[in-house]
Structure 1
């Protein structure tokens, strides 16, 4: 009788769902997905939740393979020596292999007053907490969005389109990922929406109070609602469990996405740091990393050497309200190009199509595990690895 293999996937985001679905392609593998919420969160729609145009959740029945068992709980510790995880509810579960896909959330702000008076938006509970605050604020209330990455741009645009008086505090530059041409186009769209953009050397936030935002150059902006979108952090589960992490707390792995400490632990998504050269935290990389992490586990079960992962980018598609958006194209190594498109309804429809296609990919992998195998290859990664080889930590005695 064939031996059964138990695989636990910790985290039910984009990477975790894709990994869990892919694992079901092999008979004799019991897959358990552990997630703190009973529904999947579309993080790329959280700004819409705040604006009231979407609830940003999807039933797992739509996107999770029937053979995957869902446990609604939080893993508080991974015991690699016993191959067990401890749950917040008090129970434990054993595993033969574990996929670490805990994702990311808001970084703890170090700015005085930000934790007390600003509203983060990186996870579902934060967006749900912010929604009624925005709704209750007078129409004339000043709304300040701190951070001008994609989340900040989308949140500021969403609220401004609803008639809110929005100020976007960028730090040094608006849309740091964007090419200068795209940045100019975005700035024009924000101006059209009535968003006040503050950028430059003095536009760093130094303090937040209940009704104001203080800047490095001495300015104080009145703010009825302050929204914090600056930076991402990852859960500290790996570090608490004694596993090696990078400076941000992402699990250190080799190029097969296998932990540098334990061959039974494989990482995917925002919480992975392959060769200490992690790819950009994004849904775009997560849906590529998830299935490949699963393939690493399946290869080990079959007694084969896992393949190195491949991830490539096409750029970013950013909504600028419900009626406009921009596509910033990039090379596969995530270096932006001068090609971008800013448009009205057509670009807004394209962004909506991107959001829907991500759900479709997960549902497709649930129905036909192994059907999605088009991984973009970043051919510059090998050069980066060679350049960093002298800095890489020496790892000994990985546990089998």
Structure 2
């Protein structure tokens, strides 16, 4: 009868260790890199569970809806040959049994689990938003929105709700493609950038013809319009052919439904080694992790290092050694402004913006190199497991939280 270890090599009840199985839930930036890194040890079986048969470059989804690029990548080009891809949706984690239950009734056993379920768009909590708004964060969202825009007049206004990085990128991409775009911000566009970065971003948006409504909140979404209220309390109805919600992100409730401890948003609560506070066999990575109650900003910049860290923690537990704590640093934020311009905001290691900003065409070339680099890092880890390295920071006490918008 097989037994389970609480942190050391797995035993089969006899003297020799048994080959452990590590299941990774979520095939995004964090989960895919973690799966590849786990293959650096030969006697481990690695299974990656993902609801889609292809990888989604979420940082390119704004290109999909504007028709300026694609965002789907074959896993056959990203995964190490020893990683088994299982196209399925995890519906529950049975912690006591050490199994992941799948939609449809099947289940898979694990010795260790990487919880990398990522994040998704957060619905706007106003009347009509769910019925008439287009949430923008997933592959399926982009396909639905692209089809809708193809069916409506180019002269009609597309309303973007949310002035964070996603809203700004969608606005610029659509405007550059010839669409009329209206951006509604509760504050101002790109609020996490420095004053210089915000000023540069706003200037490009206006040059592209984006109609910016600052200090304005949406109170209702209708089929062909939105109701807004400005800082003076004036209510206005703004017509449009589509309303796109980019006002924030949330995480799937898989951990909470499985009885695991989470933070208020639903991210898995872990210690500084990314290990669940409930079970040492479960390790989190990416947007759905909350180490010591201080999650990192939702971004692929954080996701890949967290994926590597989660794999290192599991490999340490299998080897019977002490995992090292999280030591993550940031270098900046990168905001696309169409295909020809971008704002590159340099930051301190704790993610606080510096005054240094790179913009224009040179910024766009940097942004494109960064987007390509994320996949390059995953592919390199598949070719040479354990080779991925990342910038390390210092004291995590001053790290900016993850409640700012992704990217």
TM-score of the aligned structures, taking structure 2 as reference length: 0.92
Runs of 4+ in 1 over 6 A off after TM superposition: none
Tell me which of 163, 174, 183 is aligned to 1:159: 174
Structure 1 residues 272-320: Cα deviation after superposition (integer angstroms, max 9, x where no partner): 0000100000010001100110000000001111110121111111110
Tell me which of 105, 113, 118 is aligned to 1:90: 105
Q: Does 2:375 correspond to 1:359?
A: yes
SS in 1 for 2:185: strand
C-alpha separation in 1, matches of 2:181 and 2:369? 27
Work out whether residues 123 and 135 of structure 2, in 8 Å CA contact, stay in contact via their aligned partners in 1.
Answer: no
Q: Give the C-alpha shift of residue 339 in structure 1.
A: 0.9
Distance 1:384 1:137, change over 3 A: closer
SS in 2 for 1:171: coil
Structure 1 residues 349-380: Cα deviation after superposition (integer angstroms, max 9, x where no partner): 22111111100000000000110123321x24
Work out whether residues 136 and 244 of structure 2, in 8 Å CA contact, stay in contact via their aligned partners in 1.
Answer: yes
SS in 2 for 1:371: coil
SS in 2 for 1:277: coil
Q: Give the C-alpha shift of residue 2 in structure 1.
A: 4.2
C-alpha separation in 1, matches of 2:296 and 2:188? 22
C-alpha separation in 1, matches of 2:172 and 2:217? 20
C-alpha separation in 1, matches of 2:128 and 2:68? 30
C-alpha separation in 1, matches of 2:239 and 2:318? 59
Work out whether residues 330 and 391 of structure 2, in 8 Å CA contact, stay in contact via their aligned partners in 1.
Answer: no
Instruction: Name the count of aligned residue pairs.
Output: 381
Tell me which of 387, 400, 406 is aligned to 1:371: 387
Work out whether residues 144 and 226 of structure 1, in 8 Å CA contact, stay in contact via their aligned partners in 2.
Answer: yes
C-alpha separation in 1, matches of 2:189 and 2:395? 27
Q: Does 2:67 correspond to 1:52?
A: yes
C-alpha separation in 2, matches of 1:380 and 1:343? 34
**Comparing 34-43 and 212-221, the one that deviates more:** 212-221
Work out whether residues 123 and 245 of structure 2, in 8 Å CA contact, stay in contact via their aligned partners in 1.
Answer: no
TM-score of the aligned structures, taking structure 1 as reference length: 0.93
Q: Give the C-alpha shift of residue 39 in structure 1.
A: 0.3
Work out whether residues 48 and 84 of structure 2, in 8 Å CA contact, stay in contact via their aligned partners in 1.
Answer: yes
Structure 1 residue runs without a partner (length 5+): 386-400
Distance 1:129 1:301, change over 3 A: same
C-alpha separation in 2, matches of 1:109 and 1:139? 25
**Comparing 209-218 and 319-328, the one that deviates more:** 209-218
Q: Aligned Cα RMSD in Å?
A: 1.2
Q: Does 2:57 correspond to 1:42?
A: yes
Tell me which of 210, 213, 216 is aligned to 2:223: 210
2:157 aligned partner: 142
Q: Give the C-alpha shift of residue 384 in structure 1.
A: 7.1
Work out whether residues 50 and 128 of structure 1, in 8 Å CA contact, stay in contact via their aligned partners in 2.
Answer: yes
Distance 1:41 1:384, change over 3 A: closer
C-alpha separation in 2, matches of 1:312 and 1:318? 19
Structure 2 residue runs without a partner (length 5+): 1-15, 401-407
Structure 1 residues 216-240: Cα deviation after superposition (integer angstroms, max 9, x where no partner): 2312211111111011010000000
5 Å matches for 1:1-400? 1-200=16-215, 203-216=216-229, 217=233, 218-344=235-361, 346-377=362-393, 379-382=394-397
SS in 2 for 1:219: strand
Work out whether residues 2 and 28 of structure 1, in 8 Å CA contact, stay in contact via their aligned partners in 2.
Answer: no
